[in-house]
Structure 1
């Protein structure tokens, strides 16, 4: 069993903590386009909604076809709390899944889940269309398909204001380049965890996009295409989700029990940390002043990745403050005294 000692960096305030990882709202609500409200169309859309939700919660494109979910595919109603139609446009079937029964069913199927607290992503998105180039800004109409795609794929997306200074920085060469340095300075004020740079172009009635993602030391890149802006936005967000998820989900069989001590705690941080540790089945062991000890299940790499969203850093035992007394796990696995 490994022992981790972590510290809130520089007396980090609640504001700084909350501005990093974001709790995805509506994570268990899925909206699927429909051509009518006929029962057959509704049933097909419900199946698509289930597949979308499973992918959103696992990041695994094959998870929805898992043998352990055969009963759910046959009768998804057992985890649906309500559904209804939204006239749009476009017209959609809105399905609300019950979080508790959904998570229980997916865990019984042996699937690993990605929690609701996810890295915030700042999206620098440049559209090149026949009418010219446009940097998508937070309050522009062109932001709508991006926001819908991010919500559909369970990603907390932020967009820049796209003011004149940002338009000068967010050029096609900078967005397609492997070095994020040109975007870093303009991104600081948005205080996001990850940077997403996308250059989308319309050619011959089709859209294609090149994208790059930076999160800590993780670098990802790819290209997608779609029939329109909405389709290419969804393709980008799907690709980003599939690249990020393995870093944060707790994989069955790859987990081990860990002891985690966090220093610099207060009531507000306790609530935020509890949300981050939900995927790891955290069990509170002890509280001593501003120190708190958890027993968690997960790999060391995934635990560190999740806690980095709260800007926590690991403190080696020999570098801990003088007042710190490392807590050792009891030999019989019981809670430390």
Structure 2
């Protein structure tokens, strides 16, 4: 039976997604800077780590202070597996939260979660300082604050190589312009889902940045400030995370049950789709040929956003439907899926 084959392969291994989206490792591990290892400092850093994690998983800056998490705030140890100190620099407290107990606590508090599979972001970051203008390239020392900020905010960030050709493209007008075409052309070889353009400037000992984000046909933009490059990078990635999260996290009360049909399935795609649908509590309903039907909990918009990470195409209502099954006389016909996609 084809269904058994699908399930067998899914249990054997988790096949990487046939897309550019990335599964984040260390999503439940948080580092918060500390000035000492005293019990008071550790307690404060643990509270900050909890707030950071809740924001990562929900996209809601107010969620950590909600009444549903009062017991967790009072005793964070109930969802922590271990913690330790990282010498740095900077010295920090590393807190490892238990994924199962953390997710359970957040869901019991009425919060919806953003899963570990997130859109990969290619970041074009141009810094202007008294020393001149420079593009932050992969492997450079200046990339470290950006990578730390991306990890802190739960985003899969990639950086360009920063070769001469890319330096000629990553100019201030291109980074601040409304047309992403020049950067898109230079970004194709990296195969990321989203494009982030940041122009950072140092003025009077302070840093400020203008940023633009493109994901599909949607655009976001903003400006932030920071005391140094590390603080600025964290502010940019925090702003990006908060703009992206609403596309993938269903607000409590807005999610509904949907039937989702996906066409063009094979063994590899089954494992990828299972992982992609984790945030929606997907339950496999049927398998017929290369078509599968899932029951998912989420709004149509969020399901569409998630499936776009794997480059699935939505099937228009007028396109050919799956052939009707010949059922037993008197049997109730299977319900029609509200959402239909194909590889």
The TM-score with structure 2 as length reference comes to 0.89
Residue 87 of structure 1 pairs with residue 87 of structure 2 = yes
What corresponds to 1:60 in structure 2? 60
Cα drift, residue 268 of structure 1: 1.7
The equivalences for 1:1-337 within 5 A come to 17-320=17-320, 324-325=322-323, 329-330=334-335
What corresponds to 1:8 in structure 2? none
Q: 1:46 to 1:234 in 2, by over 3 A?
A: same
- The one-character-per-residue Cα deviations of 1:81-117 (angstroms, maximum 9, x if unpaired) are 0000011111110000000110010011011110100
| 8 Å Cα contact 2:15-2:271 kept in structure 1 | no
Q: 1:50 to 1:154 in 2, by over 3 A?
A: same
| 8 Å Cα contact 2:19-2:309 kept in structure 1 | no
| 8 Å Cα contact 2:28-2:53 kept in structure 1 | yes
What is the rounded CA distance, in whole Å, between the counterparts of 1:19 and 1:136 in structure 2?
25
What is the rounded CA distance, in whole Å, between the counterparts of 2:16 and 2:147 in structure 1?
24
Q: Secondary structure at the match of 1:242?
A: helix
What is the rounded CA distance, in whole Å, between the counterparts of 2:98 and 2:271 in structure 1?
23
- The one-character-per-residue Cα deviations of 1:292-336 (angstroms, maximum 9, x if unpaired) are 110111111111001000001111243237xx32686449xxxxx
Q: Secondary structure at the match of 1:37?
A: coil
Cα drift, residue 216 of structure 1: 1.1
Q: Secondary structure at the match of 1:319?
A: coil
| 8 Å Cα contact 1:284-1:293 kept in structure 2 | yes
- The one-character-per-residue Cα deviations of 1:189-218 (angstroms, maximum 9, x if unpaired) are 111110000000111111100000001121
What is the rounded CA distance, in whole Å, between the counterparts of 1:300 and 1:19 in structure 2?
20
| 8 Å Cα contact 2:122-2:192 kept in structure 1 | yes
What is the rounded CA distance, in whole Å, between the counterparts of 1:75 and 1:15 in structure 2?
37
What is the rounded CA distance, in whole Å, between the counterparts of 1:56 and 1:150 in structure 2?
11
Q: 1:326 to 1:231 in 2, by over 3 A?
A: farther
Which moves more between the two structures, 117-126 or 260-269? 260-269
What is the rounded CA distance, in whole Å, between the counterparts of 2:252 and 2:205 in structure 1?
44
| 8 Å Cα contact 1:121-1:193 kept in structure 2 | yes
Structure 1 residues without counterparts, runs of 5 or longer: 1-13, 332-337
What is the rounded CA distance, in whole Å, between the counterparts of 1:202 and 1:76 in structure 2?
38
| 8 Å Cα contact 1:250-1:280 kept in structure 2 | no
Cα drift, residue 18 of structure 1: 3.8
Consecutive aligned runs of 4 or more in structure 1 exceeding 2 Å deviation: 14-19, 324-331
Q: Secondary structure at the match of 2:278?
A: helix
What is the rounded CA distance, in whole Å, between the counterparts of 1:77 and 1:314 in structure 2?
44
What is the rounded CA distance, in whole Å, between the counterparts of 1:271 and 1:176 in structure 2?
40
Q: Secondary structure at the match of 2:271?
A: helix
Q: How many residues align?
A: 316
Q: 1:127 to 1:326 in 2, by over 3 A?
A: farther
Cα drift, residue 19 of structure 1: 4.0
What is the rounded CA distance, in whole Å, between the counterparts of 2:150 and 2:261 in structure 1?
34
| 8 Å Cα contact 1:250-1:279 kept in structure 2 | no
Q: 1:79 to 1:15 in 2, by over 3 A?
A: closer
